[in-house]
C-alpha cells in the first residue's frame, strides 16, 4: 500500500490534528492512534482492514504510487477539458497612459506613452477575438491599462463598447476610478457587467498612495464615481494591501458600511501588493503575514468580515468555500491564467499573457496587428505547470501552489520553468486554525467530503 504524498497534517488544538488531502479533497480530524496507523502502512506493516478501508475511501492511501499518479492525471485532464470549454476573457489595452502616479505602480515613466489605440488596430483586435474565441461561449472584453477610463480615451472606449453591444459580448473594466463619475453616464449597463475600482483605504491612507502627478490625492473623486456607477453597474472594489495600509482595514470597512455600498451591487476584496520586475517597493508583505493580520482583524472587528471577501487568498479562500459550498478548491496545476488562456492585446499590436508584464516587448507572446502571429513564448507560458517545472513535480503541495508566479520565477531565476515557492502550507495552517470551530461543526453534520 502507498500513503499519499499529498496528506498534510495540521496541529490545531493540543489533542486534535487535521488531515487534509488536496488531491481527494478530503479533510478530517485525525487522532494520534490513526496517525500511527498511517505510519505503519508507510513502513509496510499490516493495519486493521476497516482502518485501511477508511483511509483508502478518503484518498489518504492508494494501492500504489502509480494509482495516485493516475488519479492526478485524471483530474488534470478534467481541468484541461474544463478550461477549453470556458468563456474567455480578452484583455484590451487601449492606452498605457495613466492619470495617477501610484507609489507602487509596476509601470515606469517610460511606459506612459499618451498614444491611444486607433480604429484599425481596434477592428483587428475584434477580428482576432472572433477567430480565437470558443465557438459556444460569449467572450468578455476587459479594459485594462494604463488607465482605460480617462476622458481623452472616450472615443476609443465608445468604439469598443458599440462593437460589443452589436455582438452581444460582455465587457469589464479595471479602473483607478478617477474619471468614473464622468464615465458613469457613458458606460452602457447592457454591455458592462462589472467595473473594478481600486481604493486603498480611507482618505487619509488612500491619498498617500494613489496620487495625481502633482502629489494630490484621488480619494474624493473616486468615491463620487463609485456612488454614481453603483446606480447602474455592479462595482468590485479592490484594496491593494501592504505594510503601509493594512492597519486601516477596520476603519475602511466602517466607511464602506456608512456609504451603504455593500447593500448595493457591490463586492470588495483584498489583494497583496507584489513587487514584480524591478519595482523595489519596500512595503510588501508575504501573503501569509497579511493573512495573519487579516484573521486577527476578522476576530476583533466584525465589520472587516462583513465587507471584505478573502477570495484569492490561498488557504482562506479554500476553507471559506468549503464552509459555504461544502467543496474545496480543485487542485491547481498551474499558478494563474497567464499559464492557461489569458490574452492581453495592446495598442501597438502586441499580445501578452501576464498582466504585470504588458508593455515590455521582450515578454510579448506575439502580434495581432497587422497580422496574428504568436511567437515561441506562447507555448512556453502555456506549458508551465507542476509537471514541467522540475522542482515542482514531486513537491507535496504542488496542487495547492501550481508552481508559483511565473513572472517572479523568471525575474528571480531567469527561467519560466523554475519554481517560485509560495508558503501555501503556512496559509492553510492559519486558515484551518482560524476556521476550526466551524469546520468541526460542519464535520459533525457529516458535510465535509
Q: Which residues bind ligand SF4 (CB under 6 A)?
A: 276, 335-336, 338, 354-356, 386, 389, 391-392, 395, 397-398, 401, 403-407, 419-422
How far apart, in Å, are the Cα atoms of 181 and each of 176, 206, 255, 271? 12, 18, 19, 24
- Sign for the CA dihedral angle at 218, 202, 176, 339 comes to positive
Rounded to a whole number of angstroms, the minimum distance from the CB of residue 276 to ligand SF4 is: 5
Closer to ligand SF4 at the Cβ: 125 or 420?
420
Closest listed residue to residue 192, CA positions, set 211, 164, 212, 228: 164
Whichever of 41 and 397 has its CB closer to ligand SF4, that residue is: 397
- Residue closer to ligand SF4 by CB (options 159, 388) is 388
C-alpha distances in angstroms, 399 versus 9, 56, 161, 208, 418? 16, 20, 39, 38, 16
Provide, rounded to whole angstroms, the least separation between the CB of residue 72 and ligand SF4: 13
Report the Cα 186 to chain-centroid distance in Å: 29
Measured from the CB of residue 404, what is the shortest distance to ligand SF4 in angstroms? 4
Smallest separation (angstroms) from ligand SF4 to the CB of 394: 9
Identity of the residue, 30 or 342, whose beta carbon is nearer to ligand SF4 in the bound complex: 342
Q: Which CB atom, from 287 or from 356, has the smaller least distance to ligand SF4? A: 356
Q: Which is nearer to ligand SF4, 218 or 418 (CB)?
A: 418
d(CA 238, CA 183): 19
Please identify, using beta-carbon distances, which residue of 129 and 342 lies nearer to ligand SF4: 342
Taking Cα atoms as reference points, which of 279, 213, 278, 214 lies closest to residue 240?
Answer: 279
Residue 63 C-alpha cell reads as 494501492
Residue partners of 88: CB distance under 8 A and separation at least 6: 132, 133, 134, 137, 139, 140, 341, 343
Cα–Cα nearest to 152, from 116, 119, 177, 176: 116
Closest to ligand SF4 by CB, 188 or 337: 337
Residues 274 and 313: beta-carbon distance below 8 Å: no
Q: How far is the CB of 148 from ligand SF4 (least distance, A)?
A: 18
φ and ψ at residue 17, rounded to 5 degrees: -120, 160
Asked whether the beta carbons of 156 and 166 are under 8 A apart, the reply is: no
CA atoms within 13 A of residue 200's CA, in its CB half-sphere: 24
The half-sphere exposure of 434 on its side-chain side, counting CA atoms within 13 A, is: 25
Q: Which is nearer to ligand SF4, 253 or 407 (CB)?
A: 407
Closest distance to ligand SF4 from the beta carbon of 275 (Å): 11
For the CB of residue 356, give the shortest distance to ligand SF4 in the complex, in Å.
Answer: 4
Shortest distance (Å) from residue 242 CB to ligand SF4:
16
Question: Do residues 406 and 384 make contact, with C-beta atoms less than 8 angstroms apart?
Answer: yes
Amino acid at each position: 500500500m502507498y500513503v499519499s504524498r499529498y496528506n498534510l497534517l495540521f496541529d490545531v488544538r493540543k489533542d486534535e490534528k487535521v488531515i487534509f488531502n488536496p488531491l481527494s479533497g478530503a479533510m478530517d480530524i485525525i487522532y494520534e492512534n490513526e496517525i500511527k496507523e498511517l505510519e505503519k502502512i508507510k513502513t509496510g506493516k499490516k493495519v486493521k482492514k476497516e482502518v485501511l478501508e477508511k483511509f483508502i475511501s478518503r484518498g489518504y492511501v492508494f494501492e500504489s504510487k502509480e494509482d495516485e499518479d493516475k488519479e492526478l492525471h485524471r483530474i488534470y485532464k478534467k481541468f484541461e477539458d474544463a478550461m477549453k470549454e470556458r468563456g474567455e476573457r480578452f484583455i484590451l489595452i487601449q492606452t498605457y497612459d495613466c492619470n495617477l502616479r501610484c507609489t507602487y505602480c509596476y509601470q515606469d515613466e517610460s511606459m506612459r506613452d499618451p498614444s491611444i489605440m486607433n480604429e484599425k488596430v481596434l477592428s483587428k483586435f475584434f477580428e482576432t477575438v472572433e477567430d480565437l474565441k470558443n465557438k459556444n461561449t460569449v467572450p468578455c472584453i476587459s479594459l485594462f491599462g494604463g488607465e482605460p477610463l480617462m476622458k481623452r480615451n472616450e472615443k476609443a472606449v465608445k468604439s469598443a463598447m458599440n462593437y460589443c453591444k452589436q455582438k452581444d459580448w460582455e465587457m469589464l473594466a479595471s479602473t483607478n476610478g478617477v474619471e468614473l463619475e464622468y464615465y458613469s453616464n457613458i458606460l452602457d449597463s447592457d454591455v458592462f457587467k462589472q467595473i473594478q475600482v481600486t481604493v486603498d483605504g480611507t482618505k487619509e491612507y488612500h491619498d498617500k498612495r494613489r496620487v495625481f502627478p502633482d502629489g494630490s490625492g484621488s480619494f474624493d473623486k473616486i468615491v463620487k464615481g463609485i456612488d454614481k456607477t453603483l446606480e447602474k453597474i455592479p462595482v468590485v472594489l479592490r484594496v491593494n494591501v501592504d505594510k503601509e495600509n493594512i492597519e486601516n482595514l477596520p476603519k475602511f470597512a466602517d466607511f464602506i458600511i456608512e456609504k451603504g455600498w455593500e447593500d448595493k451591487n457591490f463586492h470588495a476584496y483584498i489583494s497583496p501588493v507584489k513587487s514584480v520586475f524591478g519595482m523595489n517597493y519596500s512595503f510588501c508583505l508575504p501573503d501569509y503575514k497579511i493573512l495573519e493580520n487579516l484573521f486577527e482583524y476578522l476576530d476583533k472587528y466584525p465589520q472587516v468580515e462583513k465587507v471584505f471577501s478573502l477570495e484569492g487568498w490561498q488557504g482562506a479562500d479554500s476553507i471559506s468555500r468549503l464552509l459555504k459550498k461544502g467543496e474545496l478548491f480543485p487542485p491547481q496545476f498551474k499558478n494563474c491564467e497567464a499559464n492557461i488562456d489569458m490574452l492581453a492585446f495592446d495598442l501597438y499590436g502586441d499580445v501578452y499573457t501576464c498582466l504585470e508584464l504588458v508593455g515590455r516587448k521582450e515578454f510579448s507572446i506575439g502580434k495581432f496587428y497587422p497580422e496574428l502571429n504568436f511567437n515561441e513564448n506562447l507555448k512556453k507560458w502555456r506549458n508551465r505547470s507542476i509537471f514541467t517545472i522540475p522542482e515542482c513535480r514531486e513537491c507535496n503541495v504542488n496542487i495547492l501552489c501550481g508552481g508559483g508566479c511565473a513572472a517572479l520565477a523568471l525575474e528571480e531565476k531567469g527561467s519560466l520553468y523554475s519554481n517560485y515557492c509560495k508558503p501555501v502550507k503556512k496559509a492553510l495552517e492559519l486558515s484551518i486554525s482560524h476556521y476550526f470551530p466551524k469546520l468541526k461543526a460542519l464535520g459533525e453534520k457529516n458535510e465535509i467530503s
